Amino acid sequence: MTMLKIKATQFKRMEDPLLRADKRKYVCYVHIDDLPKNISFGPNPRDQKLTTAVAKQIEDSLLSNDGDFHLKNRGVVVSASKVQYDTKKGEMALFLDDDYEHGNIDGGHSLKVALQHQNKGLNQYMAFEIMVGVEDIIEPLAAARNTSVQVDDKSLAELSNKFDPIKDAIGGMPFFERIAFKQNQQLAPKVKMIDAREVVAVLTMFNRSVYSETVHPTQAYSSKAKVLDDYLENPDHFEIFSNIAPDIFDLYDQIEKDFPEAYNNTGGRYGGKKYSGYKEGKVVAKSKFRQEDMIYKVPDGLIYPLVASFRAAVELNDSTGKYEWKQDVFELYDELRQQLATKIMKYTDAIGNNPNAVGKDANAWDILYMTVERAV
């Protein structure tokens, strides 16, 4: 367990509007000089690159020293197991039990930029939002909090028909109607939509013109905004996927549903992992694309590198100009599923049982890719 003591002002506790006693939210402001240096970034699916234009804008706003940074900047979102506040000292204590479930969820760029400018005479504050009791939704929560970038670009792309190559490739898939190609698109109340950027990301993982046996598509997991940017530069290129696109999404579903059983068949206990969400055989999740009942959750940080490893089974048909499988991909998966499950779980265990870290780790992707490559 890690406990961080942080000076904070305007500290307030907000009860859950549905009156769930286990879920709470706290809000406050923290002076730039008091920001914690050792908070975990485990729950945050993004890599924080401080050389981007967005990071530069954050830095310029901070260095203006106008006293308005806490108003202009969205601030930091943190998950914690417990929060305490000492009113006499004006100090909050954050309790972080698990690197995967607790730590920075969103606002990582702002936090890292601010940490670079501590104790330099800046009188700026940052907004903090701390959530308690969200361990059971940590992955969808992190994903939802990290989708603000490029939402408008997605809508503009739809208006200019730039998603047509993807629509042509998977228009007949059962999940197609649930794809949100525009901002705030909703099929019907309570229908879980699929962000178009995620569809682009899954296909991108098989782009052999960009990724090789040594360069892996970790950005498909960690930066869907960047993946969308790359797609929009040349949407017509994605016509090359038309023959294998339906299989890619069926493979994704197959891996998502089979993975826990494949691991358990090797002697593992997937249900013993916190991130599995296992509750005595009860349904705890739906598969991403086909929405089938699942008694385990499988984090995207595990599924993405598993699915992407089958890029090794793709080749370009020079006659048609389209990708095709070197052999039946489902027979290949059936042959390798237990081996792949064992390897990725061993790797996950070795780096602290943090699927988000696995999703951003090129070494994990490399191990799985080489396993499939040797079998093809």
Quote the tokens at residue 176.
């197609």
% of the chain with per-residue pLDDT over 70:
95
Q: What angle do CA 351, 200, 352 make, to 5 degrees?
A: 5
Q: Quote the pTM value.
A: 0.72
Look at 160 and 328; give whichever has higher pLDDT: 328
Please answer whether residues 310 and 333 qualify as being in contact, where contact means their C-beta atoms are separated by less than 8 angstroms: yes
Burial degree of 12 (CB within 10 A; 0-12, 13-18, 19+): exposed
Least trusted range by pLDDT, from 25-34, 142-151, 176-185, 212-221: 142-151
pLDDT, tens digit (0-9, with 9 covering 90-100), for 250-298: 999 999 999 999 999 999 999 999 899 999 999 999 999 999 999 999 9
pLDDT, tens digit (0-9, with 9 covering 90-100), for 92-131: 999 999 887 899 998 988 999 999 999 999 999 999 999 9
What SS3 class is residue 93?
Answer: strand
What's the pLDDT score for residue 155?
64
pLDDT, tens digit (0-9, with 9 covering 90-100), for 262-271: 999 999 999 9
**318/309 Cα distance (integer angstroms):** 22
Please answer whether residues 205 and 305 qualify as being in contact, where contact means their C-beta atoms are separated by less than 8 angstroms: no
What's the pLDDT score for residue 332?
98
What's the pLDDT score for residue 207?
97
